Amino acid sequence: MKVRLYEIFTSIEGEGLLYGTKTLFVRLAGCPFKCFYCDTKDAIPMNSGQQYELDEAKKMIERSLEKNTYKVNFTGGDPLAQSEAVSELARFVQLKKIPSYLESSCYDSTRFAQVLPYLDFIKIEFKTPDSEFVDSKHYSKLLENELDCLRLSVESKKVTYIKVVVSSKTELGPFKKLLKRIFQSTSKSSLAGFIIQPTYGIAEPSLEQLLSFYDEVHAYYEEVRIVPQIHKFIGAP
Ligand code: SF4
């Protein structure tokens, strides 16, 4: 089996629940989508990066692990685009007893289920309709997949949190509808957190907008945080 990798590097987790932790990032090449705010556009093409035999990729991960590396983050692109290879790499990391983490848009629950057993931390990202991730005809299918991924992760007792990226284009109405679906399908006690992430450098939301989104989530779930991508402030990749 082969895998297409964009890059492997150690840095600081700059977003989400685990921000500030030293992490080895394994960035998979390829994402079938195009969010307007994507900050890893170079890794979107399915032929970006370089192709490796799986054993070669495992050796690269092994060589890149540093002392006190807290966890390995499989990111992208979207790692689910190469779910079979990612499940093998995550299994390899699990055998080394290093926690691993998946950063994905959760667009396909079947692919997600393939990788899930080998992971410890799961971010379920819910895209808002303004993200341009998919067109309006395909948004409900995307949402069903994201909700299925959330259910699977919680049932597997993984550390599961939710992230929603918001921009100045994000409207309160669709955001409220999204929250209703999320909290209808999961109990708040099963969540480790809810992160609202403002876009950075493009269509940035105002403080007023952010506070409105915060209040809407807080009505369902008090452990909500607005967390920008902190690695961008220190110039880390
Ligand atoms: S899903 Fe992620 S990698 Fe793909 S376009 Fe959107 S932000 Fe970029």
Ligand 1 contact, 104 CB (< 6 A): no
Per-residue pLDDT at 97 exceeds 80: yes
| Phi, psi at 146, each rounded to 5° | -65, -40
Phi, psi of 38 (to 5 degrees): -55, 130
Question: For all residues of the chain together, what is the average pLDDT?
Answer: 94
3-state SS class at 21: coil
Confidence band, pLDDT 50/70/90 cuts, at residue 48:
very high
The pLDDT tens digits for 176-188 are 999 999 999 999 9
State the CATH architecture for 2-233: Alpha-Beta Barrel (3.20)
Radius of gyration, alpha carbons of the chain? 17
The mean pLDDT value for 15-29 works out to 92
Q: What is the pLDDT of residues 77-90, one digit of tens each?
A: 999 999 999 999 99
**What is the predicted pLDDT for the residue at 236?**
76
Q: Which atom of ligand 1 is nearest to the CA of 76?
A: 3
Share of the chain above pLDDT 70, in %: 100
Q: How confident is the model at residue 66 (pLDDT cuts 50, 70, 90)?
A: confident
Residue nearest to atom 1 of ligand 1 (CA): 105
Whether 106 lines ligand 1, by a CB cut-off of 6 Å, is no
- What is the average pLDDT across 38-57? 96
Query: What pLDDT does 75 receive?
Result: 97
The confidence score (pLDDT) of residue 191 equals 97
Instruction: Report whether residue 30 contacts ligand 1, using a CB cutoff of 6 Å.
Output: no
Per-domain residue ranges of the chain: 2-233
> Model pTM?
0.94
Three-class DSSP category at 224: strand
146 lines ligand 1 (CB under 6 A): no
CA–CA distances in Å: residue 184 to residues 54, 72, 125, 152, 192: 40, 32, 17, 15, 17
What was the pLDDT predicted at 137? 86
Q: And the tokens for 214?
A: 């915060």
Where residue 229 falls among pLDDT bands split at 50, 70, 90? confident
Q: Report the separation in Å between the CA atom of 83 and the middle of ligand 1, taken as the mean of its atom positions.
A: 16
CA distances from 4 to 26, 65, 132, 236 (A): 11, 19, 25, 23
